[in-house]
Homo-oligomer: A and B are copies of this chain.
Amino acid sequence: MIAILKHGTTEAQTQHLVDWLKQQNLDVHISEGKEVTVLGLIGDTSAVDMDLLGSLEIVDAVRRVSEPFKKANRKFHPQDTIVDVGGVKIGGGSFAMIAGPCSVESEEQIIEVASAVKASGANLLRGGAFKPRTSPYAFQGMQGEGLKLLLKAKKATGMPIVTEIMNISTLDLFADVDLIQVGARNMQNFDLLKELGKTKKPILLKRGLANTLQELLMSAEYIMSEGNEQVILCERGVRTFETFTRNTLDLSAVPSLHQLSHLPVVVDPSHATGKSWLVPPMAYAAAASGADGIMVEVHNNPSCALCDGAQSLTPPQFDQVAQKVRKIREVLA
């Protein structure tokens, strides 16, 4: 971390600041230039409050030289992390083809969709049991009952499953879930992240609606700093001024996260766009951008889905998507 002092700062003022920084277990390297004096802070600056430092009267600006995340940082962990989700590897060249309905609705539905997407090459089954909904009056998911049906589909098809947790008090119900999803609205629910960091379950961490890549990595760091390093990042669109699509899918996040971090990155084109006809081109683009997986909503009868049907593919549509995604990955291999 570097602090740039204002022109005109006295030697006494500088010394006072240096002493204060040293009290925080930092070494300080002073570099006096013609126009500015720069303090180099050496040591563990991850707990230093940049805003506070920058607000001091003699400080012009404060800049981080190193990223504030450590365990998620590729600099300290050059090899790709490969997460094993119930036997399916994700990252480091292994691709996750995650598919399934937005919400689990019935045993028949979830098993039918699971069998269909498996036949098309999906290797993970998704399905919502606990649903975060903007309105308290909207369908909130089948909850615990939905989880049980999802586990039946897992048993019937042998596919590992991924589903969302909204409340740490329900953790016991997730004992046989292979990959626990943290939704966009909970990306900065730090208490939930800490608790998940104490489990040994792989975590799928979705980017928040208006969160930067650095904030996403800091949230991964919350999980990892508690001991659980099995984190998969997920880009699912950010909120912008554009209203034609539900969100704006930020595919540059994929290579950017790969550069900053060793964690796998998957893309959810269904929630990002909110329109089923936009899902195939965005799934192809996600694969072409280098993603380690895609997560796609598939429903056997989209027009009757209880929620989010607007963005679901039919099984035949998904089959074509899966085929082309594989071919695009071959081109890039």
Whether A138 sits at the interface, judged by CB under 8 Å, is yes
Give Cα A156 to B185, complex, Å: 39
Given contacts A4-B65, A63-B61, contact A307 B52 (CB under 8 A): yes
| Chain B residues whose C-beta falls within 8 Å of the C-beta of A27 in the assembled complex | 34
Interface string of A18-40 (1 = CB under 8 A from B): 00000000010101011110101
Interface string of A124-153 (1 = CB under 8 A from B): 000000001111111100000000000000
Cross-chain contact of A286 among B136, B285, B328, B332 (Cβ < 8 A): B285
Cross-chain contact of A65 among B36, B166, B248 (Cβ < 8 A): B36
Residue of B nearest to A193 (CB): B136
A307 to chain B, nearest CB (A): 6
Q: Are A310 and B54 in contact (CB under 8 A)?
A: yes
A205 to chain B, nearest CB (A): 14
A54 to chain B, nearest CB (A): 6
Given contacts A136-B221, A190-B132, A328-B328, contact A282 B272 (CB under 8 A): no
Q: Are A252 and B276 in contact (CB under 8 A)?
A: no
A-B contact pairs, 28 of them (CB 8 A): A2-B36, A2-B38, A27-B34, A31-B38, A34-B40, A35-B65, A47-B135, A51-B246, A166-B191, A212-B242, A212-B243, A214-B244, A238-B242, A238-B248, A251-B251, A252-B273, A252-B278, A252-B282, A255-B281, A255-B282, A281-B289, A282-B289, A284-B289, A284-B332, A285-B285, A285-B289, A324-B332, A328-B331
| Chain B residues whose C-beta falls within 8 Å of the C-beta of A254 in the assembled complex | 281
| Chain B residues whose C-beta falls within 8 Å of the C-beta of A68 in the assembled complex | 135, 137
Q: Are B290 and A288 in contact (CB under 8 A)?
A: no
A20 to chain B, nearest CB (A): 8
Q: Are A188 and B132 in contact (CB under 8 A)?
A: yes
Give Cα A189 to B208, complex, Å: 12
